């Protein structure tokens, strides 16, 4: 899997830019959400324990109880150590595994209804511990170690009453103390009218009311609390292809193979200068933010989308660009996607410059971003009825057929979705703001002009 992810092979070993622990963590924790085979296997084995508890009348459970049952010292999953087989392996693995610090048995909790399917001593149904562990002296005196709840507890006029079947009555100090604790606990639980009612016994998973077992939830429990807790700003967008999301994900973690990054990993690089400007060393911050070429692209995109003026000092600031957008959810989703597309196109232009000696101008890069954004938004989102229209773009004056096609395709109603200023009743809402000049953070001589305008609440398309 690692080899596939980083495009390696048996003969060629590529650099693994992100650790496997990070790759297999959830997307909300900065990973890719790829499941580990070990976790999937454990979750599927845990499902057998859940099914054994819930499916009490099934034939396969009867076979397991006939083979591994009897009078053995077990309380959760029956097992005879002398009998080998797959069931013995399943029980052995689950007994040794901890899910978020708890055993498998602790995660399955009974909700008593009639009380005819939940064991009084060996199931979790009252309190946070097994009753046989809480009252070991009383457990030794009881004749029925595998008795059900309705066989030991009845509902009387004063609440729940314990009816035991003793080898002898409790007499020692420890036994009497445990019996008093038993009566106190049953008295406190007596106000729950569902206990010993006509309802069916139920089982909850992981102490959550009404929840049932799921493989996905079990995998989350295996690593709950093991993550760093660092919050990442990238939000994956479904209307943008995965390859574009991946470039943005790697850029946020500074794991793109820039020249400085390759040099740090002891890869021989003759020239570490930026391929666009040949003035500064090419690291991620300079390539995507600080370079004059990149800044010109971002300026064109901001003017195209009519965004408020902003400064970007690193890539994280670009990921938070959507916060400058006024409007609904889809406006922000579109801006987040355009930021990803811009990052991807800039990275493509950088590779074309290095490996193909192909020079692209800012207007060409902006035109490609517009066309890509329109095509993907039209075909990968609910805005499939976007109307294409001719858009006057400066690229048509300087470039040939390619720029004309790009401006025609990229001139479309994504502009309506992002920068249109028509309200719900067709009233003009925009008010032109005075143009403000902002200096580039790395070059005081580099200036650009931004102009912003407010946005309507609802996204409208022609």
What is the reported pLDDT for 70?
73
Distances (CA, A) of 422 to 211, 334, 338, 454, 459: 46, 18, 22, 11, 9
Do residues 115 and 150 lie in contact, with contact meaning Cβ atoms separated by under 8 Å?
A: yes
| Cβ atoms < 10 Å from Cβ of 430 | 16
Q: Quote the strand ranges of 300-351, DSSP E.
A: none
Among the listed residues 451, 385, 452, 460, the one whose alpha carbon sits nearest the alpha carbon of residue 423: 460
**Per DSSP, what are the bridge partners of residue 450?**
436
pLDDT in tens, 375-429: 998 889 887 766 543 333 444 444 444 444 444 444 444 554 454 433 333 333 3
Do residues 313 and 458 lie in contact, with contact meaning Cβ atoms separated by under 8 Å?
A: no
What is the reported pLDDT for 449?
29
> Mean pLDDT over all residues of the chain?
79
pTM of the model: 0.71
What is the reported pLDDT for 131?
92
What is the reported pLDDT for 226?
62
What is the reported pLDDT for 393?
44
What is the reported pLDDT for 230?
64
Rg of the chain over Cα atoms, rounded to whole angstroms, equals 33
Separation of alpha carbons 1 and 34, rounded Å: 10
What is the reported pLDDT for 89?
93
pLDDT in tens, 69-79: 876 667 788 88
Separation of alpha carbons 451 and 455, rounded Å: 13
Q: Which helix (DSSP H) or strand (DSSP E) does residue 409 occupy? A: helix 401-409
To the nearest whole percent, how much of the chain has pLDDT over 90? 36
Do residues 327 and 306 lie in contact, with contact meaning Cβ atoms separated by under 8 Å?
A: no
For residue 450, is it left (φ>0), alpha (ψ between -120 and 50) or beta?
beta
Residue 298 has pLDDT above 70, yes or no: yes
pLDDT in tens, 421-458: 333 333 333 333 333 333 443 443 333 322 333 333 33
DSSP assignment string, 164-207: --BSS---SHHHHHHHHHHHHHHHHHTT-TTTTSSSPPEEEETT
What is the reported pLDDT for 276?
93
DSSP state of 119: B
- Determine phi and psi for 4, rounding to 5 degrees: -65, -40
**Per DSSP, what are the bridge partners of residue 156?**
159
Residue 265's SS3 state is coil
Separation of alpha carbons 140 and 184, rounded Å: 20
| Cβ atoms < 10 Å from Cβ of 229 | 6
Separation of alpha carbons 73 and 44, rounded Å: 25
What is the reported pLDDT for 349?
95
Q: How far apart are the first and last CA of the chain?
A: 45
DSSP state of 105: G
Half-sphere exposure of 24 toward its Cβ, with a 13 Å CA cutoff? 16
The residues spanned by each domain of the chain are: 1-33, 242-450
**Per DSSP, what are the bridge partners of residue 447?**
439
Do residues 294 and 284 lie in contact, with contact meaning Cβ atoms separated by under 8 Å?
A: no
Do residues 430 and 451 lie in contact, with contact meaning Cβ atoms separated by under 8 Å?
A: no
Of the two residues 24 and 443, the one the predictor is more confident about is: 24
Residue 273's SS3 state is strand
**Per DSSP, what are the bridge partners of residue 273?**
281
The structure tokens listed for 278 are: 């040949």
Residue keyed to tokens 């080899």? 3
Separation of alpha carbons 226 and 228, rounded Å: 7
Residue 258 has pLDDT above 60, yes or no: yes
């Amino acid at each position: 899997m690692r080899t596939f992810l980083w495009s390696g092979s048996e003969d060629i070993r590529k650099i693994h830019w992100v650790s496997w622990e990070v790759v297999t963590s959830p997307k909300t924790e900065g990973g890719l959400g790829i499941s580990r085979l070990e976790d999937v296997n454990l979750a599927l084995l845990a499902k057998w324990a859940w099914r054994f508890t819930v499916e009490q009348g099934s034939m396969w459970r009867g076979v397991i109880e006939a083979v591994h049952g009897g009078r053995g010292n077990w309380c959760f999953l029956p097992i005879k150590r002398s009998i080998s087989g797959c069931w013995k392996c399943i029980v052995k693995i689950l007994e040794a595994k901890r899910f978020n610090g708890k055993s498998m048995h602790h995660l399955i909790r009974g909700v008593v209804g009639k009380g005819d399917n939940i064991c009084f001593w060996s199931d979790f149904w009252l309190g946070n511990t097994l009753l046989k562990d809480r009252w070991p002296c009383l457990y030794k005196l009881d004749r029925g170690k595998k008795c059900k709840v309705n066989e030991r507890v009845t509902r009387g006029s004063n609440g729940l009453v314990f009816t035991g079947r003793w080898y002898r009555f409790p007499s020692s100090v420890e036994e009497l103390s445990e019996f008093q604790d038993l009566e106190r606990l049953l008295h406190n639980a007596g106000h729950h009218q569902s206990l010993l009612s006509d309802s069916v016994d139920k089982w909850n998973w992981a102490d959550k009311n009404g929840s049932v077992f799921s493989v996905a939830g079990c995998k989350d429990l295996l690593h709950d609390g093991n993550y760093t807790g660092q919050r990442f700003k990238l939000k994956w967008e479904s209307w943008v292809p995965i390859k574009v999301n991946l470039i943005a994900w790697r850029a946020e973690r500074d794991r793109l193979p820039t020249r400085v990054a390759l040099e740090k990993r002891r890869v021989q690089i003759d020239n570490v200068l930026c391929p666009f400007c040949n003035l500064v060393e090419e690291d991620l911050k300079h390539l995507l933010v600080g370079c004059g070429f990149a800044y010109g692209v971002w300026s064109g995109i901001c003017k195209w989308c009519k965004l408020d003026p902003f400064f970007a000092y690193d890539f994280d600031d670009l990921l938070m660009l959507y916060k400058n957008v006024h409007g609904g959810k889809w406006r922000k989703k579109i801006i987040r996607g355009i930021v990803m597309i811009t990052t991807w196109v800039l990275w493509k232009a950088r590779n074309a410059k290095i490996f193909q000696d192909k020079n692209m101008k800012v207007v060409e890069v902006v035109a490609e971003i517009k066309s890509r954004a329109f095509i993907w938004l039209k075909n990968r989102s609910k805005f499939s009825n976007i109307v294409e229209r001719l858009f006057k773009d400066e690229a048509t004056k300087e470039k040939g057929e390619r720029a004309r096609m790009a401006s025609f395709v990229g001139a479309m109603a994504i502009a309506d979705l992002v920068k249109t200023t028509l309200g719900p009743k067709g009233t003009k809402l925009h008010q032109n703001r005075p143009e403000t000049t902002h200096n580039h953070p790395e070059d005081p001589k580099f200036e650009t002009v931004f102009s912003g305008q407010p946005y309507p609440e609802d996204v409208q398309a022609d």
